[in-house]
Chain A
């Protein structure tokens, strides 16, 4: 019999059901989105520009109204029980939206109050110290660098102790140091039980940090999968052979193999399924030898999440499954 904690963990912390968004001009930004976010996970939402990532986040957070559908956040309907739902959510927006003339301390105090929390200077001090902002607490935000402003936005989002944190393109325009600090903090927050949903253009970051990946394209959620399973399921390996003699075309006797020629016939590439027990490499090499096709070098490579992402968003819906 499952424990109560296990049952709680099995209930999604965010549940998006049949959410559509049609803008006044007739543009459909989201098409029947269904998505469950697990409690305590790091979920990366990937998609090209204009795919609908920010619209989906904005609807969950209450900034944009959905045309139809329902969203439950930590057990609360985001429209009907908006107070309880929003109190659990922190949002770090993509753009550096700040009150330029306010001090860092004043702006995070404002955020905590706005979300209905009692003043707690000890907690706010911890947030600022964790983000290396404590020394800047009396500075006006307008005097800070872009990276520091990003930290301020993160501090504002954390000021009311949310259990769900949305990070919309958090690494856009920030330096390497902050990016490292930020991912360290994201991992720490996850350890403390915070659920994190992020969008990013840096797919290698999603590959590095996320537990699960969702890919959204043209307003449709085309895949949601555990990162490792996604990599295994859709990842491909390639064997690249540098030929001694260039070929004009692939000989007829090799037509059964998934081969492609590149580099004006100097490079032969064999793609194979990384999940299959038999890769077919030994047989291919033997066949090449039988037909006197010599090569001077060979290397193998595995597709990255980025390759998978690109192939997903280029394919028509359904082709990936």
Chain B
């Protein structure tokens, strides 16, 4: 195992974050604050509790998940796309590092950044809404697992994309809509019966539901389903990445 190689990639990626620390933090924190002000305070104060949880507190897990998914994808996709775009990937390809080590470096750094941001958003939320975390270990486990899974997903997008626009397409056109429709701002039990069934095809429902369960002990779907779906998505991403590395798709040809 090339530990120095993993460390080099990880530090390189983290240094990139710290160079643009202000931009990395300011935008998500501001956006989240606006969500809390508008949905949590202004609208939320006129809404009833959901599953005995105030609306302001109810949306916290969804908002964290929204940011976690987007940040994980954008960090990892940008991280591997940049060397491809700038041509510096030649060094990575000619170095004595296995793709597992490359993956640990890039995905590890992307997941670290998004977990840091997730915790920062939780801290910001505390300013606006009081909340408690019923299962803190599960909360951390969901946070880490989702960050790693979606960083892997971002890594795949970064390998697939041919231009900067493509980097944006999947997060904007797929992940954000799925998160909004995945119960970030409502319980799926509030939907008409038909839509409740349709929405179960949305994988993000399981992530948000599981994460919310770790906070308040209530969930839209069984916690076992949430854990299973999260691992399922992780395995799918690992399989795709494994295939990419084995075939050299868009890398070594």
**CB-defined contacts of B93 to chain A, threshold 8 Å:** 61-63
Q: B94, A89: Cβ atoms under 8 Å?
A: yes
Residues of A105-123 contacting chain B, CB below 8 A: 106, 109-118
Chain B: interface residue total (CB-CB under 8 A)? 27
Q: B86, A113: Cβ atoms under 8 Å?
A: no
Q: A106, B86: Cβ atoms under 8 Å?
A: no
Nearest chain-B residue to A21 (Cβ)?
A: B253
Q: A65, B252: Cβ atoms under 8 Å?
A: yes
Q: B253, A63: Cβ atoms under 8 Å?
A: no
User: Does more than half of chain B's interface fall in helix, strand or loop, or is it mixed?
Assistant: helix
How far is B90's CA from A99's CA once the two chains are assembled, in angstroms?
12
Size bracket of the A interface: 35 or more
B88 close to chain A: CB less than 8 A:
yes
B50 close to chain A: CB less than 8 A:
no
Residues of B76-132 contacting chain A, CB below 8 A: 86-88, 90-98
User: Which of B5-13, B66-74, B161-169, B204-212 contacts the other chain?
Assistant: B5-13
Q: What's the minimum C-beta distance from A155 to chain B, rounded to whole angstroms? A: 12
- Residue of A61, A62, A99 near B88 (CB, 8 A) is A99
Q: What's the minimum C-beta distance from B136 to chain A, rounded to whole angstroms? A: 35
A93 close to chain B: CB less than 8 A:
yes
How far is B15's CA from A82's CA once the two chains are assembled, in angstroms?
28
A300 close to chain B: CB less than 8 A:
no
Q: Kindly name the residue among A23, A82, A95, A110 whose own CB sees the greatest number of chain B CB atoms within 10 A.
A: A110
How far is B11's CA from A114's CA once the two chains are assembled, in angstroms?
11
- Residue of B2, B87, B94, B96 near A91 (CB, 8 A) is B94
Mask for A54-96, Cβ within 8 A of B = 1, else 0?
0000000111110000000000000000111111010101010
- Residue of A63, A95, A116 near B96 (CB, 8 A) is A116
Nearest chain-A residue to B3 (Cβ)?
A: A116
Q: A115, B86: Cβ atoms under 8 Å?
A: no
Residues of A32-65 contacting chain B, CB below 8 A: 61-65
How far is B97's CA from A82's CA once the two chains are assembled, in angstroms?
9
How far is B165's CA from A112's CA once the two chains are assembled, in angstroms?
33
Q: A97, B253: Cβ atoms under 8 Å?
A: no
B4 close to chain A: CB less than 8 A:
yes
Q: What's the minimum C-beta distance from B242 to chain A, rounded to whole angstroms? A: 17
- Residue of B3, B7, B87, B94 near A62 (CB, 8 A) is B94
**CB-defined contacts of B4 to chain A, threshold 8 Å:** 112-118
Q: B8, A114: Cβ atoms under 8 Å?
A: yes
Q: What's the minimum C-beta distance from B67 to chain A, rounded to whole angstroms? A: 25
**CB-defined contacts of A156 to chain B, threshold 8 Å:** 91
**CB-defined contacts of A102 to chain B, threshold 8 Å:** 12, 15
Interface residues of A (CB under 8 A from B): 23-24, 61-65, 82-87, 89, 91, 93, 95, 97-102, 106, 109-118, 156
10 further interface pairs, Cβ-Cβ under 8 Å (given A84-B96, A115-B4, A116-B4):
A63-B90, A82-B96, A83-B96, A101-B19, A106-B12, A110-B12, A113-B11, A114-B5, A116-B5, A116-B96
For this complex, 26 residue pairs linking A to B, each with C-beta atoms less than 8 Å apart, are A24-B253, A63-B90, A65-B252, A82-B96, A83-B98, A86-B96, A87-B96, A93-B87, A93-B90, A97-B86, A98-B86, A98-B88, A99-B88, A101-B16, A102-B15, A109-B8, A110-B12, A112-B8, A113-B8, A114-B91, A114-B95, A114-B97, A115-B4, A115-B5, A116-B3, A116-B97
List 7 tightest A-B contacts by C-beta distance, closest first: A113-B8, A97-B87, A83-B96, A61-B94, A86-B96, A116-B2, A63-B93
Interface residues of B (CB under 8 A from A): 2-5, 7-9, 11-12, 15-16, 19, 86-88, 90-98, 248, 252-253
